[in-house]
């Protein structure tokens, strides 16, 4: 019989079958008809023809054109806009990866181009951003870290501003902060954070906020873990967090309004206090 409606082909696999099943169920709900069946190629040539239907070379080429166009605009674009651009382009790449069932040369070339593109973005976003170091994180006694001077790079962005809030709220309530023009200005007596060589910085996959949480045994606090996920996403990427875009917008606006970093910390701390209270309340609600 002739199939009047569209026919879809998808490489077999337990993780893929639900996508076709959902499509079939939608067709039935709309009053149409649908069949799910397995198709076996009858020859090597037919198998190759099926694979060719999933060639994503044009998709990767379009992605690379968009990265090239974005590169031309990086130097004249503000940091918040660059961060949003990076996340949008990352989502575009992830969408193509998700349907690239037979990756080949085009995907390898695109991956190499993406790595170089993200390096350019990182240089724009955070020219002094710390490099991750390997190793374990030692547990520290909070009582030995009271009334200290903590130092980080000035004009703090997500990880640094959130880390400063975490320090004053949960680690050292009498903390004072030094905002450095460059990491080499850090006094020997100060506890540096979020720069290469600092006492607290990126360790493995943890950003500085997460390193501080692990160092001072704060990881049992589920509301703080929610904030940690938000900070991780905005600093290095990660799983989506609903509140991330709103927090980034507030921080960008505070940067535009306030030139004093102590005032910036005070204002953003109120936002983080509110987020923390919100996450705490959500955690107490019955499931």
> Same structural domain for residues 160 and 273?
yes
Q: What is the band of 3 on the pLDDT scale with cuts at 50, 70, 90?
A: low
Q: Which domain holds residue 108?
A: 57-125
pLDDT in tens, 87-117: 899 999 999 998 999 998 999 999 988 888 8
Over 70: is that where the pLDDT of 246 sits?
yes
Q: What is the mean pLDDT of the chain?
A: 89
More confident residue, 205 or 237: 205
Residue with tokens 């996920």: 229
Exposed / middle / buried, residue 74 (Cβ in 10 Å: 0-12, 13-18, 19+): middle
- Take residue 151 and report the two structure tokens written for it: 């130092």
Cα separation, 191 vs 178, in Å, equals: 10
Is 258 within the bounds of a domain? yes
pLDDT in tens, 207-240: 999 999 999 999 999 999 999 999 998 888 778 8
Number of domain units in the chain: 3
> Same structural domain for residues 25 and 104?
no
> Same structural domain for residues 156 and 186?
yes
Is 6 within the bounds of a domain? yes
Is 161 within the bounds of a domain? yes
Is 91 within the bounds of a domain? yes
């Amino acid at each position: 019989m002739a199939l009047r409606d569209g026919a879809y082909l998808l490489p077999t696999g337990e993780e893929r079958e639900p996508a076709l099943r959902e499509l079939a169920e939608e067709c039935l709900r709309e009053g149409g008809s649908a069949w799910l069946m397995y198709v076996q190629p009858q020859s090597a040539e037919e198998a190759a023809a099926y694979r060719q239907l999933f060639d994503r070379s044009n998709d990767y080429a379009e992605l690379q054109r968009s990265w090239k166009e974005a590169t031309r605009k990086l130097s004249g674009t503000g940091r918040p806009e660059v961060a949003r651009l990076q996340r949008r382009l990352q989502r575009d790449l992830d969408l193509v990866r998700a349907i690239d069932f037979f990756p080949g040369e085009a995907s390898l070339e695109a991956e190499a181009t993406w790595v170089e593109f993200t390096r350019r973005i990182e240089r724009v976003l955070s020219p002094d951003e710390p490099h991750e170091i390997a190793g374990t994180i030692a547990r520290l006694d909070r009582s030995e870290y009271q009334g200290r001077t903590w130092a980080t790079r000035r004009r703090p962005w997500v990880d640094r501003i959130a880390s400063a809030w975490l320090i004053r709220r949960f680690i050292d309530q009498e903390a004072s902060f030094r905002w450095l023009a460059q990491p080499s200005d850090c006094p020997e007596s100060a506890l540096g954070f979020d720069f290469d060589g600092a006492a607290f910085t990126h360790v493995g996959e943890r950003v500085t906020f997460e390193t501080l949480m692990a160092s001072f045994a704060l990881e049992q606090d589920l509301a703080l873990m929610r904030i940690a996920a938000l900070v991780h996403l905005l600093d290095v990427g990660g799983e989506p967090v609903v509140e991330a875009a709103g927090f980034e917008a507030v921080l960008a606006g505070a940067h535009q309004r306030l030139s004093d970093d102590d005032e910036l910390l005070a204002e953003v701390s109120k936002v983080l206090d509110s987020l923390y209270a919100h996450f705490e309340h959500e955690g107490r609600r019955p499931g």
